[in-house]
Structure 1
């Protein structure tokens, strides 16, 4: 979700105040421009490398696809859908990550860095070793 070479995604400057981030590495959406920016930036710190593979748009929806290697050594594929309103503001970003082991590793890494900041139940917690049903 963020470039490992320090570049930021082009949508970050266009986030609406009430923008929402959804993803397979979180148990619930996160709302608010600052919260979305924070999570995107933290994800970038967990990547050893990132290579964009596709970017395109259909109307107000923009699609991004990339491959990354986590600092844990696991390879990851990501697909993002960036939804803009008529004014061009980003209202929602939805990210999916695969394969499962890499996605779980990314979620646990996020929890270790920002779990307390966003709520300990937002990310996968390896010490619990169970899937939350909430």
Structure 2
């Protein structure tokens, strides 16, 4: 995922070693700086376009909002909350994606490209007709 000018999002450089990422396209949290970076980079490859609409902070919480179009043609909106500790390191990132069809599509595409690396049960699987319990 990149900003509107092609630069990497600033929080990626500030991830703590034990940072955690939660999101509506994931069945469980992803932990660790390298895992989060890999997953965010994979998401970025699935966007045909991306336009940041808001970035702001209140104390140690930073808020990111953007619109994107997936390579499948579906439009997507995302909201992220980035929590930093007192030293400025990112400890937790929570991402919400909407609408549902675009979020499900994004999760399924992530499964196709990084499912083996992260475990297939992390992402939506269209061949399974039920929601997996966490």
TM-score interval (norm. to shorter)? over 0.9
1:73 counterpart = 2:68: no
Moved over 4 A (4+): none
Aligned mates of 1:23, 1:127 — CA distance in 2: 21
- What TM-score, normalized to structure 2? 0.96
Match of 1:92 in 2: 92
Aligned mates of 2:123, 2:11 — CA distance in 1: 23
Q: How far is 1:68 from its partner?
A: 0.2
Correspondence list, 1:1-134, <5 A? 2-3=1-2, 6-134=6-134
Q: Which runs of 5+ in 2 are unaligned?
A: none
Aligned mates of 2:63, 2:57 — CA distance in 1: 6
Aligned mates of 1:6, 1:72 — CA distance in 2: 21
Aligned mates of 2:100, 2:21 — CA distance in 1: 19
Aligned mates of 1:27, 1:97 — CA distance in 2: 13
- What TM-score, normalized to structure 1? 0.96
Equivalenced residue count is: 133
- RMSD of aligned residue pairs (Cα, Å): 1.1
Aligned mates of 1:32, 1:16 — CA distance in 2: 8
Q: Which runs of 5+ in 1 are unaligned?
A: none
